[in-house]
């Protein structure tokens, strides 16, 4: 029971982890990307389109599908779709100096629209009776477990039974954490986010760093969408099912105080909170609705506490949300 | 090494210069051209997806918005106006907050709480109170509910500088869950509350929506005067420009933040009341339908001017309804209109660049001389 609860929490938390690590990378360059919810949608639907095409090319026969291709095609599609969205965002905000919040919100509208439109179109093509599209074959490749995980009892279930995207998320979080704190690239990126004018004077290419950080961050966030469809929803796409996870990922960035390694713990905790209503005994449906507030209330409490303590290392990048224009002083 | 010195001397092909001197008419010319290009793009994209001619596409859009207006039927026109005033009212509500650089992303939740207060009064007091008293009670509770929901993040922003973007955003989801809870309780297990016949806004001249439209028209004028000519409106713009300046000239910044969010939340509450008492007569979690976010974009595109906002909301609602009709006639998903609205807004955001900056190209003549 408790093991099952933790595993479920991890499964729910992984899309948030991808989203928040992506957003951390972007925010470290000084750009507050509120387009993340839309970008995650686009990542998810790109992956769905990719695997849909591959499944059809193989005649919907699982025996004809190559495990490597079945994984790599949706994977690359998700990254490509999300990166294109990131490019639009960075072109508007970095090159055209557009307001970041407005651009991000418009991008979210666009991304959710794209996801639902393409999803509905695919559902039309398959002429299925359900308002969803099932890619269970591709999903079975994604959620393949280590062969010996079941033999190791609770230990195996807790640590070894997850899909590879879960492990990849944790690896990415650690790699990002290391890059940000221990390498020259990370130092440059942080300085771009703290004070772009100083970074520029020191010879760092601010525009390049901001473009790259936004695009890489978007690609990571897009994988979160893919993980949601392929692992959590076992390959079933239905419109609007992804919900508000993108916004929670952005909130998680503050919860984690801009530290990718803290985001790992935070995302699993959020996953547990999202799921708590299903595991507390004796709740009526109406009380369950109230319990679904938990993750949001916890986020607010964390927001308040971090703003009250005002520790220097807990502050956002100093020029977060501000565009950099070299000739402006 | 020689190569390096060579590149050092080369000027970039072009560079970007800021400018503040563009005359107003020229700026508007650019915006109008962008909107026209946007409409052309919408037509071409719809044409490509639906395989219809460009003329057909536009005429479907027109009928989707105005219905049989040319034959004298105004039903659809009133619906169009109704859709405009809801989005406009939310945009107006957000404007004082944005002018103060307070990113209120919680219009959705504030309107939901206003709507909840309305439906609660309609159900609880519907049969007990006389009609006029009931309407007054509904108005007061809705405004209070919206204002309270808006002022909670503002208090923390004023006291501890808590990030308001995420705080207001999270308040949306809490409001949604409260509505889900209430609908479950009141609907008796089903997820539907039947339309309540009490406390509905009066029908004026056979028209359900006249009262809503009139209320928002008044709010539009009020907001214009409030922002432009009142002392409080001036304080808002000073706080928005620079909090230090505001403190220096003796403005109580905390008070301004809290007061402005009270107004912003109250107007969102009014929108919730318009939706519940003036339109749906019931409530569900999708009452506002994401318009709280579109309203943010409307407020920004309207440049804090209520009358420009009327224009912007009219365009966006036209696109939303028109493209939805185009999608409907070709069995496309209605999300197609979300994509279109997103693209057109991004185009408008991008066009501001050409108003505020100019591109100076490298003078090639100089290089030839050298």
CB-CB under 8 Å, B341 with A113: yes
- Residues B124-174 have pLDDT tens digits of 888 888 999 999 999 999 999 999 999 999 999 999 888 888 899 889 989
CB-CB under 8 Å, A106 with B342: yes
User: Mean pLDDT, to the nearest integer, of A69-92?
Assistant: 93
- Contacts of residue B49, Cβ cutoff 8 Å, sequence gap at least 6: B330, B332, B336
Using the Cβ of A315 and the Cβ atoms of chain B, whether some distance falls under 8 Å is answered with no
User: At which residue do the structure tokens 């509450």 appear?
Assistant: B269
- Residues A63-80 have pLDDT tens digits of 777 888 888 999 999 999
Q: Do residue B311 and residue B206 come from a single domain?
A: no
In this structure, is residue B203 part of a structural domain?
yes
- Give the orientation angle of helix A184-194 with respect to helix A2-28, to 10 degrees: 70
> Sign of the C-alpha dihedral, residues A225, A228, A234, A238?
negative
| Confidence tier at B2 by pLDDT (50, 70, 90) | very low
Closest-approach residue (CA) in chain B for A96: B353
Top pLDDT among A223 and A131 is at: A223
Q: Do residue B153 and residue B301 come from a single domain?
A: no
Q: Which of residues 218-277 of B touch A (CB under 8 A)?
A: none
CB-CB under 8 Å, B349 with A99: yes
CB-CB under 8 Å, B338 with A110: yes
Using the Cβ of A121 and the Cβ atoms of chain B, whether some distance falls under 8 Å is answered with yes
Using the Cβ of B171 and the Cβ atoms of chain A, whether some distance falls under 8 Å is answered with yes
- Global pTM exceeds 0.90: no
Q: Do residue B147 and residue B132 come from a single domain?
A: yes
Q: What pLDDT shows up at residue B9?
A: 58
Residue-wise over B29-45: b if at least 16 C-beta within 10 A, else e? eebeebbeebbeebbeb
- Range name among A8-17, A47-56, B9-18, B221-230 with the lowest pLDDT average: B9-18
Q: Do residue B217 and residue B318 come from a single domain?
A: no
- Residues A166-208 have pLDDT tens digits of 899 999 999 999 999 999 999 999 999 999 999 999 999 999 9
| Confidence tier at A329 by pLDDT (50, 70, 90) | low
Q: Do residue B234 and residue B315 come from a single domain?
A: no
User: Mean pLDDT, to the nearest integer, of B49-63?
Assistant: 85
Q: Where are the alpha helices (DSSP H) in chain A?
A: 2-28, 36-57, 67-90, 100-126, 136-142, 153-155, 164-182, 184-194, 196-201, 206-227, 245-255, 260-279, 285-291, 294-309
CB-CB under 8 Å, A299 with B166: yes
Using the Cβ of B14 and the Cβ atoms of chain A, whether some distance falls under 8 Å is answered with no
Using the Cβ of A195 and the Cβ atoms of chain B, whether some distance falls under 8 Å is answered with no
Query: Which of A67-76, B246-255, B322-331 has the highest mean predicted lDDT (pLDDT)?
Result: B246-255
CB-CB under 8 Å, B165 with A101: yes
**HSE-up (13 A, CA, CB side) for residue B342:** 24
User: Mean pLDDT, to the nearest integer, of A85-91?
Assistant: 95
Using the Cβ of B123 and the Cβ atoms of chain A, whether some distance falls under 8 Å is answered with no
Q: Out of B169, B184, B353, whose CB is closest to A97?
A: B353
Q: How many CB atoms lie within 10 A of CB B243?
A: 16
Q: Do residue B216 and residue B315 come from a single domain?
A: no
Domains in chain B: how many in total?
2
User: What's the gap in Å between the CA of B342 and the closest CA on chain A?
Assistant: 4
CB-CB under 8 Å, A308 with B166: no
Considering only CA atoms, which of B111, B144, B127 is closest in space to residue B275? B111
Closest-approach residue (CA) in chain B for A90: B350
Q: Which two tokens stand for residue B332?
A: 């496309």
Check: CB of residue A58 under 8 Å from CB of residue A186.
no
3-state secondary structure labels for all residues of A208-221: HHHHHHHHHHHHHH
For residue B342, the chain A residues in CB contact (below 8 A) are 106-107, 109-111, 113
Q: Do residue B208 and residue B303 come from a single domain?
A: no
Q: How far apart are CA A101 and CA A200, in angstroms?
A: 24
Q: Do residue B238 and residue B184 come from a single domain?
A: yes
pLDDT at A289 > cutoff 90: no
Rg (CA), chain A: 20
For residue A117, the chain B residues in CB contact (below 8 A) are 332-333, 335-336, 338-339
| Confidence tier at B369 by pLDDT (50, 70, 90) | very low
User: Mean pLDDT, to the nearest integer, of B18-34?
Assistant: 85
Q: Do residue B218 and residue B309 come from a single domain?
A: no
- Give the orientation angle of helix A206-227 with respect to helix A67-90, to 10 degrees: 140
For residue B174, the chain A residues in CB contact (below 8 A) are 293, 296-297
Q: Do residue B302 and residue B181 come from a single domain?
A: no
Q: How far apart are CA A114 and CA A120, in angstroms?
A: 10
Q: Do residue B178 and residue B306 come from a single domain?
A: no
Q: What was the ipTM of the complex prediction?
A: 0.86
pLDDT at B90 > cutoff 60: yes
Domain final position from B289, B312, B344: B289
Q: Do residue B259 and residue B311 come from a single domain?
A: no
pLDDT at B227 > cutoff 90: yes
Query: Structural domain of residue B317, as residue ranges?
Result: 296-323
CATH of A2-314, picked from 1.10.8, 1.10.3470, 1.10.1760, 1.20.140, is: 1.10.3470
């Amino acid at each position: 029971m408790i093991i099952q609860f933790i595993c479920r929490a991890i499964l729910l938390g992984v899309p948030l982890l991808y989203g928040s690590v992506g957003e951390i990378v972007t925010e470290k360059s000084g750009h507050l990307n509120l387009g993340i919810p839309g970008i995650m949608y686009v990542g998810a639907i790109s992956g769905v389109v990719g695997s849909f095409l591959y499944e059809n090319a193989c005649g919907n026969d699982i025996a004809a599908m190559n495990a490597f291709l079945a994984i790599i095609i949706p994977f690359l599609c998700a990254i490509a779709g999300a990166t294109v969205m990131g490019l639009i965002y960075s072109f508007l905000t970095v090159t055209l100096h557009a307001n970041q919040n407005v651009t991000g919100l418009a991008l979210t509208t666009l991304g959710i629209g794209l996801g639902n439109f393409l999803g509905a179109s695919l559902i039309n093509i398959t002429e299925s009776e359900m308002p969803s599209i099932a890619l269970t074959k591709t999903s079975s490749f994604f959620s393949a477990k280590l062969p010996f995980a079941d033999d190791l009892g609770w230990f195996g279930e807790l640590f070894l039974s997850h899909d590879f995207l879960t492990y990849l998320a944790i690896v990415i979080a650690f790699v990002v954490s290391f890059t940000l704190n221990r390498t020259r690239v990370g130092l440059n990126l942080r300085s771009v986010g703290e004070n772009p004018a100083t970074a520029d004077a020191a010879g760092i290419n601010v525009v390049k760093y901001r473009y790259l950080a936004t695009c890489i961050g978007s690609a990571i966030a897009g994988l979160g969408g893919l993980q949601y469809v392929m692992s959590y929803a076992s390959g079933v796409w239905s419109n609007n099912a992804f919900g508000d996870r993108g916004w929670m990922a952005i909130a998680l960035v503050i919860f984690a105080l801009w530290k990718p390694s803290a985001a790992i713990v935070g995302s699993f905790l959020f996953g547990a909170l999202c799921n708590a209503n299903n595991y507390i005994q004796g709740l009526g449906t109406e009380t369950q609705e109230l319990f679904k507030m938990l993750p949001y209330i916890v986020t607010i409490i964390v927001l308040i506490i971090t703003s009250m303590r005002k520790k220097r290392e807990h502050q956002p990048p100093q020029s977060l949300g501000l565009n950099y224009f070299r000739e402006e002083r | 090494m020689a190569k390096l010195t060579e590149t050092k001397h080369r000027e970039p092909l072009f560079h970007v210069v800021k400018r503040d001197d563009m005359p107003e008419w020229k700026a508007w010319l650019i915006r109008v051209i962008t909107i026209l290009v946007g409409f052309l793009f919408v037509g071409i994209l719809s044409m490509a997806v639906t395989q219809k001619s460009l003329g057909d596409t536009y005429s479907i859009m027109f009928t989707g918005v105005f219905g049989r207006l040319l034959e004298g039927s105004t039903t659809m026109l009133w619906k169009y106006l109704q859709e405009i005033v809801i989005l406009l009212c939310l945009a107006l509500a957000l404007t004082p907050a944005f002018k103060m650089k307070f990113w209120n992303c919680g219009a959705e939740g504030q309107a939901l709480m206003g709507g909840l207060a309305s439906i609660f009064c309609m159900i609880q007091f519907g049969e007990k109170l006389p009609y006029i008293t009931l309407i007054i009670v509904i108005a007061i509770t809705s405004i209070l509910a919206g204002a309270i929901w808006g002022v909670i993040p503002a208090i923390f922003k004023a006291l501890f500088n808590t990030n308001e973007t995420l705080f207001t955003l999270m308040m949306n989801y809490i409001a949604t869950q409260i509505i889900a809870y209430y609908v479950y309780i009141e609907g008796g297990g089903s997820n539907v509350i039947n339309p309540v016949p009490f406390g509905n806004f009066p029908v004026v001249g056979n028209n359900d929506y006249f009262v809503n439209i009139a209320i928002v028209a008044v709010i539009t004028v009020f907001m214009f005067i409030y922002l432009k000519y009142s002392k409080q409106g001036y304080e808002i713009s000073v706080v928005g420009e620079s909090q230090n300046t505001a403190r220096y000239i003796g403005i109580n910044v905390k008070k301004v933040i809290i007061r402005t969010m009270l107004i912003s939340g109250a107007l969102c509450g009014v929108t919730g009341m318009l939706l519940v008492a003036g339109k749906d007569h019931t409530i569900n979690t999708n009452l506002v339908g994401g318009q709280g976010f579109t309203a943010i974009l409307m407020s920004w595109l309207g440049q804090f001017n209520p009358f420009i906002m009327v224009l912007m909301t009219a365009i966006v609602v036209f696109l939303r309804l028109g493209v939805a009709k185009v999608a409907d006639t070709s069995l496309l998903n209605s999300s197609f209109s979300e994509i279109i609205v997103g693209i057109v807004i991004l185009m408008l955001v991008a066009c501001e660049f050409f108003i505020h900056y100019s591109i100076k190209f490298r003078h090639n003549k100089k290089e030839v001389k050298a």
